[in-house]
Amino acid sequence: MSAARSLSLDRPRVLAIVNVTPDSFYAGSRAGSAEGALAMAARAAEEGADALDLGAESTRPGAERVGEREQIDRLLPAVRAIRAAGGPLAAIPMSIDTTLAAVAEAALRAGADAINDVSASTERGGEMLGLAARLGAGVILMHRRSPPREDSYSDRYGAAPAYTDVMGEVRGFLAARAAAAMAAGVAPEAIMLDPGLGFGKTVEQNLELVRRTGELAELGYPVLSAASRKSFVGRICLAERAQSDPAERLAGSLAFSVAHLFAGARVFRVHDVAEQRQALAAAWALGTARARGD
């Protein structure tokens, strides 16, 4: 996040999803207009969100790309409406979920603070990192195997994505991307890493990444958890079903967030702010009490 609006990690932080899209995988995250995005953001802030993550292109498996102009046309009215609302929304940190530097720049100049890049700035020559450095923006760098349109839901792969060591490969990739960000001029404290749960990983590979999060945290950057309502969560918590709907996955999502917190994640990108904040606060209190020996 920018220096003006940043997150301290003295406790788990909740990043609320606001999608200005018609096709994101969970209907509850879709805001069809700037007014809808403003209402969603206001509700998230009221429920205790620490930051907002706005996106104008779905990254669900099979999703089609959305061009620069359309992303900008969707995002800018929403960013401006949120900032113009005043009160908590004028000061809440805001990231923009995009892989396109032109989109990120327009949103940053309109009032956003950080870039959530699911390609880890590997698209278009890595120009996103130079932009972040130039504008003093934070960056979230995520691991994925392929663009969403070429990917599958975690529980529907015909052949599992091949990893010799899933955490080793994710950790190595993200370490290299963080080094690239610093080489471009991004401050180390402005970098966050996302293992990319659900992106190019089977159900078991996602579980292993959560269990071994400490190995990623050892790099010294905060780790983002983004399990909320994803297909692998449904496969675990509703194992008796051949398929589940994202609307049925809240309980499992809360469990994954708590487990990921204890494993080392500190920021949680979620659909359900109030429930996630309460679950994480309870888990944090238990964890700190245990650390004190209470």
**DSSP letter (8 states) at residue 241:** S
Burial 202-212 (b: 16+ CB within 10 A, else e): bbebbbbbbeb
Give just the sign of the alpha carbon dihedral 7, 11, 12, 13. Answer: negative
The residue annotated as part of the active site, out of 74, 177, 235, 269, is 269
Cβ–Cβ under 8 Å, residues 176 and 124: no
Cβ–Cβ under 8 Å, residues 24 and 30: yes
Structural tokens at position 106:
């327009």
CA distance linking residue 169 with residue 124, whole number of Å: 22
Annotation says 201 is catalytic: no
Orientation of helix 101-110 relative to helix 68-84, angle to 10°: 20
The residue annotated as part of the active site, out of 230, 249, 266, 277, is 230
Residue positions annotated with a catalytic role: 230, 269
